[in-house]
Structure 1
């Protein structure tokens, strides 16, 4: 494992204020209040305005957790994960490139995106695979129907055991979405429970992706309302933004309804895709990624990056930075799995990348000099604003100018250093 470099990105003050005001008003609305006392007023006798802690930080936590590995049958993988703007890190993962024994050619990977705490996500990351294997439906014969049934049963049993533990230990609040893949010698199995997502790239194009489970989706909304809930503000009862998850037991109490018929269902959708020599890579990621980038954009971006990067951890870090610069305010986690058919390092692509970075450095220098000529002391935002309106050929597909922001920032500070006023000899010393 390694930790990548740190940076300094600040949330604009107006965005922080907007987030805080929105939280305050929405919370007050559901509690039947007016939004608290007006500015300069004091709460009345017996009243105490509740202070709701913001789920966002003033500065993002940019340390990246990374991991890499491989399987003997040719799979390589990397994980990248970052807390970002969120006040807490609630993502967990599980990477098992080889299951061992008679399943030595099988692999399992999953991302768990917790909400209202990290406890459920952590528990499921430690127990879900074991529950799937305990069903006995997974074996060397690789029967797709049996495997699908085992995966579904594993999710349901995990939720059942989780409920018992939660009641015993007193942490019934919170839940987690899950996006997982089980790779066999012949098939790729996808299991989705919530709004994290998997995407498979084949021959340079998106071949398959899972469907997010959102409360406003017609079938999900129908189940929620049949269980006695409602969908408002695109959330269950105006609160929970996902319609399937492990945990969230306060939404699973409807009488005479099976677990799959509750407002929040623990049942995953399981898909099977037959493997192909044209398979390039597979992505599992939480919604902190998908909220800012489409399947097609991410497929194009990673396909491009694999031709200039030999370290998959670096590719994951670049995806995380791209999502951050495109405005993601969530925890960001991604697992990148590369098959033998993935793009390889290209001398031509490396040459084009070097030319692009040289061009960006020269553009930054040009913009800096022009701003200086007007009497300004150019700040980074001014340079970025001018550069964003400039046509730059050769930017990474799917990434655009945001994907080269680290290069631009480095070039900017080089200009700052170059334009530092010099101190004549003999001055400035005592």
Structure 2
């Protein structure tokens, strides 16, 4: 189950342009995000964070996926670190060309994302803190990319996609480089919180070609199935040069509301055979049955295997409240059934009860 890849205790981040772009997903609070009054919107709903994950090698000979779960970021980073609560961090790293790059990034998450970038501290969200977090996140991806180049133990042909999610109070921030995907469930509807960076995606294809790269049969320079990744230095131009293959993350964020039920983070082995909405429906049904995010992650992986995915599989499911809490918020109650008995049946039932009492 990949338990070694997990740090379970309660998360990562995006840009002011992305704030404005993604705030439209939250019809209740976009103005608050745009005009800088973020903290005033954070008091209405407090997520209750819990998560589960599951991994499977799939039909591949080697497992190249890595992931991390931190359900309490403040506790994980120590008492000297201050950030809005609740705080949590999750990441999925889908390696290629060997497992080295993905394992290296996962094993150095603390250093890349929080220590070397001087992650800002604040007890409440505000625009200055948000901008600092965004800058740190972008820097972390680039630091990890450069570290893969400098470490002689990592093959230059080894690389990894990376998707991270950070929760700070009610703010969900997703950063992505590659074709892992984060999907938010809002009242049963799937909302993509990331874009798959594949060579066939029009804006990525245009960027690649403008920088001298080419797309051959859906592959970047005829070799790689993604246009953004950490590592892969045998495909990148010298440091400081603009390269068709980049490590820059795309950032998206949203303000969570009572309608937001959970987040799915998965590698491309899931999305190759399932749509975002199909995955949300599977997890939602699972939560209604057993309210266990880890079991939901396992069920999603099993469904992808049943549909004959060709890749390694990694899924993280992050719940923002219990199913019972969502039911209370919606005002729904368990169904109660009434039945009526005929006079004859009622008389028979009373006779049986009296007989039992006499014994």
Residue from 324, 329, 343 that aligns with 2:305: 324
Where does structure 2 lack aligned partners over 5 or more consecutive residues? 11-45, 328-332, 336-359
Instruction: Give the Cα separation in 2 of the matches to 1:310 and 1:276.
Output: 19
Deviation at 1:254, TM superposition (A): 5.5
Which whole-Å CA distance do the structure 2 matches of 1:295 and 1:170 have between them? Answer: 33
- Bigger-Rg structure (1/2): 1
Aligned twin of 2:165: 181
**Gaps (5+ residues) in structure 1?**
4-62, 350-430
Q: 1:237 maps to what in 2?
A: 221
Q: 1:305 to 1:198 in 2, by over 3 A?
A: same
Aligned residues: 283
- Tell me the alpha carbon deviations over residues 220-269 of structure 1, each in whole angstroms, 9 at most, x when there is no partner: 22332233321011001111000000001112115862xxx312110000
Measure, in 2, the Cα distance between the counterparts of 1:162 and 1:66.
19
Identify which of structures 1 and 2 has the higher relative contact order when contacts are C-alpha pairs closer than 8 Å and 6+ apart.
Answer: 2
Distance 1:344 1:65, change over 3 A: farther
In 1: Cα distance, 2:65 partner to 2:88 partner: 21
- 1:113 corresponds to which residue? 94
Q: How does 1:101-140 map to 2 (within 5 A)?
A: 101=79, 102-103=82-83, 105-134=86-115, 135-140=117-122
Please list, as runs of the form range in 1=range in 2, the aligned pairs for 1:343-422 lying within 5 A after superposition.
none
Instruction: Answer yes or no: is the 8 Å Cα contact 1:176–1:246 preserved in 2.
Output: yes
2:206 maps to which of 199, 222, 234: 222
* Other-structure match for 2:296: 315
Q: Tell me the residue number matched to 1:74.
A: 48
User: What is the distance in 1 between the residues matched to 2:7 and 2:334?
Assistant: 26
In structure 1, how many angstroms separate the alpha carbons of the residues matched to 2:159 and 2:268?
Answer: 15
1:98 matched residue in structure 2: 72
Partner residue of 1:304 out of 262, 276, 285: 285
Match of 1:410 in 2: none
| Shift in CA distance, 256/109, structure 1 to aligned 2, threshold 3 Å | closer
In structure 1, the partner of 2:315 is 334
1:197–1:211 contact (8 Å) kept in structure 2: yes
User: What's the counterpart of residue 147 of structure 2?
Assistant: 161
Shift of 1:74: 2.3
1:389-412 CA deviation, whole Å, 9 max, x = no partner? xxxxxxxxxxxxxxxxxxxxxxxx
Name segments (4+ residues, structure 1) moved above 4 Å: 63-70, 341-349
- C-alpha displacement of 1:306: 0.5
Give the superposed CA RMSD: 2.7
**2:199 and 2:225 in contact (8 A); partners too:** yes
Whether the aligned pair in 2 keeps the contact of 1:213 and 1:243 (CA below 8 Å) is yes
Pair 1:206-2:206 in alignment: no
What is the SS of the residue equivalent to 1:159? helix
